[in-house]
Amino acid sequence: MFKRRLGKSGIEINAMGLGCITLGGPWARTHRGGEVFYPGKVDENEIARAIHRALDLGVNFFDTAANYGAGRSERMLGRALVGQRDKVVIATKFGYLVDEENNRTDFYGGDENSDEVAAHIREDCEASLRRLGTDYIDLYQFHVGGYSPSKAARVRDTLEELVEEGKIRWYGWSTDNLEGARVFAQGKHCAAIQHELNVIDDAPGMLSICDEFDQASINRSPLAEGLLTGKYHIGFKFPENDFRNRDRFRKNYIIPILGGLDTVRDILTSDGRTLAQGALAWIWARSDRTIPIPGFKTVAQVEENVGAMHFGPLTAEQMKAIEIVLGRRQVIE
C-alpha cells in the first residue's frame, strides 16, 4: 500500500479511494430530461460486505454525493461506516436539489447557474451530515461541474464559513472546467479538484492547476465506466436501461476508449497486472497528486482494485511507451 496527500490539507490517505455512485441504485435526473441513472442490480448486503472488505484491506477514503440515489448512497455508506468514523476520510458532494421521497434530483431553480445553489449550501450540508450519520465532513465538494466560474467565488466563500463552523474540514469542486477549478483552488481551505482522468482521456490542464495550487487530483471514471476492465468490446450490447447504451455515450466515449485501449492493452497488463490494475497504475504514474476512485458493487471488484496498490505506478519507460502508441504529448528523452 502507498499513500497520497490530500492537497494542501496535509491529510494522508491511501492512493486509491472508492467511488460510491452505484450504492444508491437507480434515480431520476430531472436536470437531464428525466433520464434515469441505472447502475445495474445493486445488492445492499454485498455493498456492505465490499465496504467492510475495503476497510480490512486498508482503504480509508470514500467518495459519495448527495444526489447519488437521491440520498441513498450517503445513507448506505454511513450505515456501513458505523464505528469506523475515526478511521476514514469521507468526501461527499452538494449542489443539486435532492428529492429523497420521489427518488429524483434537479438543478436548483431548474437552472445549472441558479443563484439558489449558494443559498442552499448550509441546508445541503446539514442533510448530508444527517444521512452520513456524522457531525463533520472531511472533504465537501461542489458538484455542479458546469457552474459559471464568475459565480463560483460566492459558493467558495460560503464553504469557508462552514470550515470555520466545523461542519466541514476542507472543500473542493468536481468539475472539468479549468477556469472554474482555478477560481476554487485559490480558496484557503480548497484541497482538491475532482475531474475525469484515465489512460485514454488525459487531463494535462487540470493536473497543471492542481500542481500550481497544491490540490489533490481526485479522479472520477478512472476505469471509464468499466470500459477499461477488459469486460467489453466495441460491439457489446449493454442492457436497454444502462446509461452506457445511449448513442451519445457510445459515440463520444465507448468507441474512443475501447479503440485506444486495444493499442495499450499489452503495456497495461505487463508485470502480472489485470487490465483494471494497469489502468489505475497509469493514473498514479501520471502525477503524484492523483487519487483514483473506481466504483464498485462487489467484494471481488474491491479486492482487484485494491490489489493494484501492491504493484504501484507504471514505470517511466511504460508511460513513455503508452504516449508513443497513443500519439500524445511530445516524448522527452
DSSP per position, 74-93: HHHHHHHTTT-GGG-EEEEE
Mean pLDDT across the stretch 215-227? 92
Distances from the Cα of 68 to the Cαs of 103, 106, 230, in angstroms? Answer: 10, 12, 26
Interatomic CA distance for residues 160 and 158, integer angstroms? 5
Q: What pLDDT does 332 receive?
A: 46
- Is there a contact between 291 and 59 (Cβ–Cβ < 8 Å)? no
Mean pLDDT across the stretch 118-136? 98
pLDDT at 330 over 70: no
* Chain position carrying cell 449550501: 121
Q: Terminal CA-to-CA distance of the chain, rounded, Å?
A: 30
Average pLDDT of the chain, as a whole number:
92
* Chain position carrying cell 477514503: 61
Torsion on CA atoms 296, 171, 194, 69, rounded to nearest 10 = 40
Residue 133 grid coordinates: 450519520
Q: What pLDDT does 234 receive?
A: 66
Interatomic CA distance for residues 118 and 186, integer angstroms? 18
Interatomic CA distance for residues 263 and 248, integer angstroms? 23
Q: What pLDDT does 202 receive?
A: 95
Residue 119 grid coordinates: 443559498
Torsion on CA atoms 130, 131, 136, 142, rounded to nearest 10 = -120
Distances from the Cα of 318 to the Cαs of 39, 205, 261, 279, 328, in angstroms? Answer: 33, 22, 15, 12, 14
Per-residue pLDDT tens digits for 174-205? 999 999 999 999 999 999 999 999 999 999 99
Distances from the Cα of 309 to the Cαs of 16, 59, 63, in angstroms? Answer: 8, 10, 18
333 band by pLDDT with thresholds 50, 70 and 90: very low
Mean pLDDT across the stretch 295-322? 96
Residue 262: other Cβ atoms inside 10 A:
10
Superfamily of domain 3-229+273-312: NADP-dependent oxidoreductase domain (3.20.20.100)
Q: Coil, helix or strand for 212?
A: helix
Angle between helices 299-311 and 44-56 (to 10 degrees): 20
pTM for the predicted model, two decimal places = 0.94
Domain spans of the chain? Answer: 3-229+273-312
* Chain position carrying cell 465537501: 140
Q: Of 126, 128, 1, nearest to 66 (Cα)? A: 128
